[in-house]
Chains A and B, each alone.
Chain A
Amino acid sequence: MADLGDDANMSLEERHAFMTERLQQRNDIRKSEIQRKKEDKEAPKREKCEHFHESLNREIEEIERELALSSSRTKEELIDHFDGITVRLQKSQKFLSESTLFLPSYDISRANDSLTKLQNILQEKRSEFLPKKKFAFKSRKGTDDGKDKKSKKVESGDMDLSTVDLADCKIINEVNKKLSMQPEEINQKDVALAELKSCVVKLYGAPSAIHINKLEDCQIFCGPVSGSIFIRECANCVFVLSCQQLRIHTTKFTNFYIHVTSKAIIEDTSEVKFAPYNWSYPLIEEHYKLSGLEKKRNNWSDVDDFNWLAADEHSPNWSILGLKERILMWDV
């Protein structure tokens, strides 16, 4: 009753203060309870960690000691000796994997490292003192060798396939020659030129496409090509070409006199120069009509370098052939 009386006598402010204090007290008790529980939980965890490190290190030390003793064992003892160590190592590994639940990941990886190290040392010692029987080694090596040979054979077989049967319209493997092809041979056909050295080739016609591969010190002339011309691995050449698309790959020190209605591109190519197409022969107008190439549209000076994507700076791999360097008249 006194309490009640007190209560009743208290002002509103006093009651408010009383209530806040009580709430505060309860909160403090709750917090300390949580803290205590937390510590309870962590304590065994810490203990477990310490226990783990102690026992693992002890085990590792013992294994190391055993390994060091290997040299003093006789041959008969060695097998059992190494088997014993292997079992111990496996047990440690198992112990580690069982302990991963409570271990921090740094400790796990460190323990793992030291166990792997031991495993390697064991392997070394074992092969040092107990070399594997020779035939096992040999047979393995033998099969590997066989495989290698086989795969090489397959590869070389593939190579033959790709180079041998080129299309009908082709000039391949010539040195020091002046060659030409006439309209009736090449008009609206696809032409292949490959592996030529110091040759002059004139194609008087309008092929649909040309593939050019591995040319050196050559001069190549061609009438209007309705499709694309594809050039690979050429050096020190002069190309005088007219086409819809021109792709130049892995080519060096070469000059191009071109008529391209789309855009020429270069890739893995350097030291190449470009000038406008300036070859002519009696039937060329007719062949332009046949090819459908627009004679007025020529983007010869607009070249995309696939190895140079910076737009604000000119590619160092190609340039425009200076007026004075250009050859103005070709033999027909």
Chain B
Amino acid sequence: MGLLTILKKMKQKEKEVRLLMLGLDNAGKTTILKKFNGEDIDTISPTLGFNIKTLEHRGFKLNVWDVGGQRSLRSYWRNYFESTDGLIWVVDSADRMRIQDCKQELHSLLLEERLAGSTLLVFANKQDLPGSLSSEDIKKMLDLDNIKSHHWRILPCSAVTGEHLLEGIDWTIDDIASRIFTMD
């Protein structure tokens, strides 16, 4: 039995998945996390530091790390890279002025060795705002088609209405599972 097989078996036993949620400030990371967990989203303050939530979903134990996106916090992101199974990149679809910032941060993140091989889900958040960019626009602006290093998918969503949140998480879990766990 190889080392990989042993690791796979260990992971399978626990069915534990580590998700790291990143993105620029004001993207809606914490709101997505709280909405997904069925909590109140009206009182969320900008994240100074990080939030961790452990959720049970479809028999998986999801450890979701939501790290603040302020510029002054971004240099700390790398402290959370270790053993990440899935990366959730959240975009404020109405923030047209910073979409280039957003692209740069994402692409520099994907060069990170410790995130190599992790599943990438891009949430084009805030679709409830009428002036928001479509996920198709964001896919182009973030140059997602050029990402060959990760399995990725982009989904339009709204943390306020909850639209497509579940679908996104489900896809992420499926993709990770097909990689790590031997499906039952």
List residues of chain A with CB under 8 Å of any chain B CB: 158-159, 161-163, 165-169, 188-192, 194, 208-209, 211, 213, 227-228, 230, 232, 244-245, 247, 249, 261-263, 265, 267-268, 292, 294, 304, 306-307, 309
A309 to B73, CA, bound (A): 11
A209 in contact with B46 (CB, 8 Å) = no
Q: Please pick, from B42, B73, B96, the residue contacting A165 in the complex, using a CB distance under 8 A.
A: B96
A231 to B117, CA, bound (A): 36
A169 to B132, CA, bound (A): 11
**Least Cβ–Cβ distance between B4 and chain A, in angstroms:** 35
Residues of A within 8 A of B70 (CB): 247, 265, 267, 306
* Contact A262 to B43, CB < 8 A, known contacts A189-B130, A190-B132, A228-B26: yes
* Contact A213 to B44, CB < 8 A, known contacts A169-B131, A190-B129, A306-B73: no
User: Which residue of chain A has the shortest Cβ distance to B96 in the bound complex?
Assistant: A166
A211 in contact with B42 (CB, 8 Å) = no
B10 at the interface (CB under 8 A from A): no
- 9 A-B pairs with C-beta separation under 8 A: A158-B100, A166-B97, A167-B130, A211-B97, A247-B26, A267-B72, A268-B71, A306-B70, A309-B48
Interface residues of B in 123-170 (CB under 8 A from A): 126, 128-132, 141, 160
A247 to B97, CA, bound (A): 15
B72 in contact with A268 (CB, 8 Å) = yes
For chain B, which range describes its interface: under 10, 10 to 19, 20 to 34, or 35 or more residues? 20 to 34
B56 at the interface (CB under 8 A from A): no
B71 in contact with A267 (CB, 8 Å) = yes
Interface of A, helix, strand, loop or mixed by DSSP: mixed
Q: Please pick, from A163, A165, A263, the residue contacting B45 in the complex, using a CB distance under 8 A.
A: A263
B128 in contact with A213 (CB, 8 Å) = no
B45 in contact with A245 (CB, 8 Å) = yes
A208 to B158, CA, bound (A): 13
**Least Cβ–Cβ distance between B147 and chain A, in angstroms:** 18
A263 to B45, CA, bound (A): 5
B44 in contact with A262 (CB, 8 Å) = yes
A261 to B25, CA, bound (A): 18
